[in-house]
Structure 1
Amino acid sequence: MPIPRTVSRHLTAVLLLLAAAACGVEADPARRRDDAAETSATRAGSDSATKPSSESLVVVTASGTRTFTLAELRRALPTDTALVRHDPAYEGRAKRYAGVPLDRLLALAGVTMSADEVLYFVAADGYRATMAQSAADPRIKGIIAFADLDAPAGSAWQPVRHGAQSISPAPFYLVWGQTGAAPGDTADAALRRPWPYQLARIEVVDPRKRYDRLYPTGVSRDDPVYRGFQAFVIESHGGDQCVACHALNRQGGSVGPELNVPRNITEYRDAATLAAFIRNARAFRAGTAMPVFEGRLSDREIEDILAYLRWMRGHKVPLDSTGAAR
């Protein structure tokens, strides 16, 4: 699979690079989303574009659950046209979509959020991504797309390619359209948002409860350790979070290896090597499929992630004989 498509949707975020450095193996970028899913969507033949059968979207809050069909959303909310200048699911091409505004949908569902809560997006195949309120940016607007305006004649969607397979983004695809800034100004901001397609569910969650074994209790929000937690669990790097594929204390994804127990990755790899590997894995391994992160992650972001990993080294959970957390 070409690198841009890998970066667009299945980029495992920076900790996958750390794990690869530690284990001496390359993760298969073509499988990152499918392996991260808790349940795999049924795929048809290699040339068919498959999609979930249900055209409904579930919104879950502390006060209850609401389910909206596509027809209900179109009746209740205005239809917007989203101009996406760099769509990560389509190799960075410009795309146009019809959909309903994310903020209007959340208001319709009665969503209210505390400063500690985040939005948790769940796709039909189990893929998950999170977004904090602090990620709001007036230059870009979230749209729950229900139609691809650039799809071939007679089709509602242009399929997303996954190796030999074609997958429809239907029924819903969260995209980030430009609201008025000059072309190119919003590409980085948009790529730091989640881009889940085949979107089926939106939840309001408190990461202190959802990721209780990962949360840096007692650490101030301006501390590098807390910023590193944000980068690992909350923030998007090309559309995904590290925790979608990696676990700490046996909590998180399972595509990449566990990074804290029984040994933390910083206990057997020095910080300079890890930071250099993150910036440019190709300088370490010829022919690697890992993208170059030079310019994609700042020096401070890398240092924050390493600070968080070092903090986690002192906050391990005990394991039972099977390797599960006790």
Structure 2
Amino acid sequence: MNRVWWIVLWWAVMPSCLAAQDLQIQLPEQKLTWSLAQIKQQVPVQQIKLVDPVYNSEKSFEGVSLLQLLKAAGYTPGQAADEVVLTASDGYAPSMPLEYLLDDQAVMVFAESGKKDFEFALVAQGKAMVSPAPFYLVWKQGKAVEKTRPWPYQLVKLELVSFQQRYPKLYPTNAAQNSAAYQGFLLFKQSCISCHSINLQGGELGPELNAPKNVTEYWTDDHLKAFIPNASGYRYKSKMPTFPQFSDKDIDHLVAYLKHMKSYKIQTP
């Protein structure tokens, strides 16, 4: 088979292969792996229609309640967890407070309605078009929560954690809760940890920011404060999104957090 036909075949079968991938679910007291067929056995499948901010259009999907999925896997209120970490196949790993799930608006979708998967529902990722399979997290409120809830796709793992126990090396030790460094940490936790790590804890899509060199040791404050809200103004084709919602004070707090963490570097990986 020549290379051209191999590429054609790969694109034809890849979305279906991804859709068949298992989902790892890790709770404080147990870990399990379920196939899509097993998930359908455990949780009722629902149809959901919404104005989707990733596709920027109205979409209809099949999926299951994320809250009900976690309960079926063994989650019970009172467990030592306050955060949900959602890991994609490329290392993107956003997290969100567990309380976001309590109103049961989060849905783990696995197919476009009426289709066997996402074969005809690819999403733009830079210049490429990719399948959101095997699982894509959406919210029933649609675009109304575009900026306040994560919308990750290609999900392969869910993990319920105590945030401080899961990420102790990125906590701003000895920073008062009313300090600029602590406020910057809260912003980092909300908007940056999905792609970036501090002391190798966090996402893997973007660069590590503290070890062995802290980013403030090789970027000036002026450049860093300009880069954070608008990376594409520095680098064409940057994968880092813009952050127009960040105020100047927010940026100052983020830089204060990064500078604070300079004193708490890990020594070896």
- The two structures have a TM-score, normalised by structure 1, of 0.64
Q: What CA deviation, in whole Å up to 9, does each residue of 1:170-202 have, x standing for no partner?
A: 3322112218xxxx533322xx41x33232321
Aligned pairs, how many? 257
Report the CA distance between 1:148 and its aligned residue.
0.8
Residues in 1 aligned to 2:206 and 2:22: alpha-carbon distance in whole angstroms: 31
Residues in 1 aligned to 2:153 and 2:78: alpha-carbon distance in whole angstroms: 23
Partner of 2:5: none
Give the alignment partner of residue 120 of structure 1, picking from 67, 82, 85. 85
In the alignment, does 2:199 pair up with 1:249? yes
Q: Does the 8 A contact of 1:83 with 1:178 survive in 2?
A: no
Change in CA separation of 1:137 and 1:272 when aligned onto 2, cut-off 3 Å: farther
Residues in 2 aligned to 1:65 and 1:115: alpha-carbon distance in whole angstroms: 15
Residues in 2 aligned to 1:186 and 1:117: alpha-carbon distance in whole angstroms: 20
Q: Does the 8 A contact of 1:87 with 1:95 survive in 2?
A: no
Give the alignment partner of residue 85 of structure 1, picking from 13, 31, 51. 51
Q: Does the 8 A contact of 1:216 with 1:226 survive in 2?
A: yes
Report the CA distance between 1:106 and its aligned residue.
1.7
Taking the TM superposition and a 5 Å limit, the aligned residue runs for 1:260-271 are 260-271=210-221
Report the CA distance between 1:308 and its aligned residue.
0.9
Residues in 2 aligned to 1:289 and 1:125: alpha-carbon distance in whole angstroms: 18
| 1:58 counterpart SS class | strand
Q: What CA deviation, in whole Å up to 9, does each residue of 1:214-246 have, x standing for no partner?
A: 1223445454323322332x324xxxxx33443
Partner of 1:199: 155
Q: Does the 8 A contact of 1:49 with 1:165 survive in 2?
A: no
Q: What CA deviation, in whole Å up to 9, does each residue of 1:97-121 have, x standing for no partner?
A: 1211111112222224668631122
Change in CA separation of 1:262 and 1:67 when aligned onto 2, cut-off 3 Å: closer
| 2:252 counterpart SS class | helix
Change in CA separation of 1:271 and 1:73 when aligned onto 2, cut-off 3 Å: same
Higher relative contact order (CA 8 A, sep 6+): 1
- The two structures have a TM-score, normalised by structure 2, of 0.75
Partner of 2:244: 295
Report the CA distance between 1:131 and its aligned residue.
1.5
Q: Does the 8 A contact of 1:82 with 1:97 survive in 2?
A: yes
Gaps of 5+ in 2: 1-7
Q: Does the 8 A contact of 1:119 with 1:204 survive in 2?
A: yes
Letter in 2 for 1:304: H
Partner of 2:229: 279
Partner of 2:73: 109
Letter in 2 for 1:226: Y
Report the CA distance between 1:164 and its aligned residue.
7.5
Letter in 2 for 1:261: A
Give the alignment partner of residue 23 of structure 2, picking from 32, 40, 57. 57
Change in CA separation of 1:47 and 1:102 when aligned onto 2, cut-off 3 Å: same
Residues in 2 aligned to 1:64 and 1:49: alpha-carbon distance in whole angstroms: 31
| 1:235 counterpart SS class | helix
Partner of 1:95: 59
Residues in 2 aligned to 1:292 and 1:67: alpha-carbon distance in whole angstroms: 32
Give the alignment partner of residue 315 of structure 1, picking from 261, 264, 268. 264
Report the CA distance between 1:142 and its aligned residue.
0.8
RMSD of the alignment, in Å? Answer: 3.5
Partner of 2:145: 186
Report the CA distance between 1:145 and its aligned residue.
0.7
Residues in 1 aligned to 2:27 and 2:246: alpha-carbon distance in whole angstroms: 32
| 2:169 counterpart SS class | coil
| 1:45 counterpart SS class | helix
Give the alignment partner of residue 70 of structure 1, picking from 36, 61, 66. 36
Q: Does the 8 A contact of 1:170 with 1:197 survive in 2?
A: yes
